[in-house]
Amino acid sequence: MLLHEKLKNKKLILASQSPRRKQLLAEMGLQFEVIIKSVDESFSDDLKMQEVALYIARQKAEAFDHEIDNNTIVITADTIVCIDNMILNKPEDRNDAVRILQLLSGNKHTVITAVCLFSNEKEKEFFVATDVYFRPLSLEQINYYLDNYKPYDKAGSYGIQEWIGLVGLEKIVGSYHNVM
């Protein structure tokens, strides 16, 4: 039985503003509604990298606790970008985006996406980690990317499906869709 057939009597809520997450669910043939809740995304420094993404995805799901009926499944996710045990969040501004992209230039980093499926009956969590290797990027390339794509809403200051993925990506070990 296909996934969309299994879920045909369920109401799906995607708790994400990500256009890529919306696209992936739509391409899977799923019908869903987007509902966003404001959640504190701070976390303890004691957490391991994959635990950070899981913790934040869980926080997003638990914001719906006691607000959904037995026929509803909430889908939340969080993506973090890590290099040398440092989490690279969404850039604060252009200068921060330049700094982040210069850190990624010529280096390997890891993209971790955690997903939480939450209903009144149960909660399922999982994560995927993908290693991404960037070629060296010139300041001219970084500035061109920032001027034309404005990736200020993305962890790690880039979208792999955009221009920078074509010129900067050396190789990927793991799931492309995880990085996207």
d(CA 110, CA 124): 23
Q: Which residue has the higher pLDDT, 3 or 9?
A: 9
Q: What angle do CA 78, 23, 62 make, to 5 degrees?
A: 35
Question: Distance between CA 166 and CA 180 in Å, rounded?
Answer: 13
d(CA 87, CA 81): 6
With residue 115 as reference, give the H or E element that holds it. Answer: strand 108-118
Centre a 10 Å sphere on the Cβ of residue 159 and count the other Cβ atoms it contains.
18
144 pLDDT exceeds 90?
yes
pLDDT category, 1, cuts 50, 70, 90?
A: low
**Average confidence (pLDDT) over 59-88:** 92
Whether the CA torsion 20, 25, 28, 32 is positive or negative: it is negative
How does the average pLDDT of the chain come out, rounded? 92
Task: Report residue 10 CA to chain centroid gap.
Answer: 24
Provide, for the chain, the percentages of residues in helix, strand and coil under a 3-state DSSP scheme, each rounded to the nearest 5. 35, 25, 40
> Above 90 in pLDDT, residue 113?
yes
Q: Is 46 a catalytic residue?
A: no
What is the value of pTM for the model shown? 0.90
Q: How confident is the model at residue 70 (pLDDT cuts 50, 70, 90)?
A: confident
Among residues 45, 46, 78, 93, which one is catalytic?
Answer: 78
